[in-house]
Amino acid sequence: MRCSVIGLGYIGLPTAALLADNGHKVFGIDINQETVSTIREGKIHIVEKGLDQIVSKVVSNGALKVYTKPKECEVFLITVPTPLENKNSDIPIPDIDHVLSAAKSISSVIKKNDLIIIESTSPVGTTDKVESLIKKYSGYSRNEVNIAYCPERVIPGRTLFELVENSRVIGGLTKKAAKAAEEFYKTFCKGKLLITNARTAELVKLTENAYRDINLAFANEISMICHESNINISELINLANHHPRVNILNPGCGVGGHCIAIDPWFIVSEHPEMTPLIQQARRVNQHKAIWAIEEIKFIVKKLTLSLKRVPKICCLGLTFKPDIDDTRNSPALFITKELIDQGYDVISCDPHIKENLEFKVSKTEYALRVGDLFICLVAHKEFKNINFNGLNVFDLCGLIK
């Protein structure tokens, strides 16, 4: 089939590459000319294991072509971002403008019986809004074109593998649309394809990440209690998890990324009075980074007295999770920037960040040579070989067992 993937980011580009590698003729669409130019050269603008080889292959053999405007085809996948508005307010609101703009952009090339699939994380009712917009601009109703919602379920660093192996929830506006989407995903997915309606599928995605956020909040809350009680959190979790019905997650310096740190608000914004638990979990995870900064400042104050000088703080890790280059909503990056902005002598290190951010990113070897206090923020595999014996360490990510 001819397929258009609208939005060539962390989900769209791997999806487009996989489709092209599985025999489809794929048009990758992105409004960013620099992104389009990069991919046209057979290169990638994001870091994802194995993606560069596949993109180089499918661009060179013509299976993937990239443009800034949609092309006529049989399948349209919308994989654009859905950020939050008013992120600093008590209850941020999801912004689906990119999804609606993508739907409007494809309306001029849609034909009868085409398949339109929204993969972007969206609040309940978004697929209905897309259908209304497509009907307005193309004239086709939900009975004339097939519109479905199918959220991605991948983790950065394993995207190509999980796009193929993970099960998918497919929600159609009609049974015919759900069936058409199911047949399409069968062409490259090995996981189970679970059929439902669009509104249920939309809430499934949000529920999955709210569930994870709540469980991480529990782990982060217990970790702060352990710190105050001088108890090793890693040992405590290991012992507690020997209970047959307990599975406490590993705490961190907060929760980041574009899913867990964002999606719970999609539910809360629609049901603020019914979501006290989801809201509190979000605030616990946001507070963890603030708490970490205050603890670091306290440690620095004591260390200044013993060293009789201002200590150099080494922040190890800047991404939102281990072994990737993604800093979206990263609490590690937030902590590092806050310490720098407050005037502390900070050395930042991350082997996965190739260029300086708003501040210099140093080599780990240099930090180990000159540092006085080491803040473990992200458990990159490169950091696991460091011998921290004899060093001043504040471990926020379970790097030291």
- DSSP-derived secondary structure for 331-391: HHHHHHHHHHHTT--EEEE-TT--S--SS-EE-HHHHHHH-SEEEE-S--GGGGG---TTS
**Which tokens is 309 given?**
């000088």
Is the C-alpha dihedral spanning 66, 71, 73, 76 positive or negative? positive
State pLDDT tens for residues 341-396.
999 999 999 999 988 888 999 999 999 999 999 999 999 999 999 999 999 999 99
State pLDDT tens for residues 135-188.
999 999 999 999 999 999 998 889 999 999 999 999 999 999 999 999 999 999
State pLDDT tens for residues 218-243.
999 999 999 999 999 999 999 999 99
State pLDDT tens for residues 11-59.
999 999 999 999 999 999 999 999 999 999 999 998 888 999 999 999 9
- Res 401 pLDDT > 80: no
Q: Which of 362, 252, 381 has the alpha carbon at shortest distance from 314?
A: 362
Question: What does R_g of the chain's alpha carbons equal in angstroms?
Answer: 23
Is the separation of the CB atoms in 347 and 313 below 8 Å? yes
Angle at Cα 324 formed by Cα 372 and Cα 118, nearest 5°? 145
State pLDDT tens for residues 201-216.
999 999 999 999 999 9
- Residue 90 has a pLDDT of 86
- Reading across the β-sheet that carries 146-149, which strands appear in turn? 64-67, 25-29, 2-6, 75-78, 115-118, 146-149, 168-172, 193-197
- Residue 210 has a pLDDT of 98
Q: How confident is the model at residue 89 (pLDDT cuts 50, 70, 90)?
A: confident
Q: Which of 189, 259, 314, 376 is catalytic?
A: 259
CA distance linking residue 69 with residue 76, whole number of Å = 13
Distances (CA, A) of 117 to 94, 121, 131, 160, 309: 19, 12, 11, 19, 59
CA distance linking residue 272 with residue 268, whole number of Å = 5
| 278-298 burial code (b ≥16 CB/10 A, e <16) | bbebbebbbebbebbbebbee
Q: Which of 57, 80, 71 has the alpha carbon at shortest distance from 27?
A: 71
Residue 205 annotated in active site: yes
Q: What are phi and psi of 148, to 5 degrees?
A: -140, 160
- Res 217 pLDDT > 70: yes
Amino acid at 178: A
Is the separation of the CB atoms in 168 and 185 below 8 Å? yes
CA distance linking residue 128 with residue 125, whole number of Å = 5
Once rounded to an integer, what is the mean pLDDT over residues 275-300? 98
Distances (CA, A) of 104 to 73, 237, 370: 15, 49, 55
Residue 56 CB-density burial (10 A; 0-12 exposed, 13-18 middle, 19+ buried): middle
Strand partners, 25: 2
Region for 337 from its dihedrals, namely left if φ exceeds 0, alpha if ψ lies in -120 to 50, beta otherwise: alpha
- Residue 400 has a pLDDT of 86
CA distance linking residue 391 with residue 373, whole number of Å = 7
Once rounded to an integer, what is the mean pLDDT over residues 279-301? 98
State pLDDT tens for residues 92-140.
999 999 999 999 999 999 999 999 999 999 999 999 999 999 999 999 9
Q: Which of 205, 288, 321, 337 is catalytic?
A: 205
- Res 87 pLDDT > 90: no
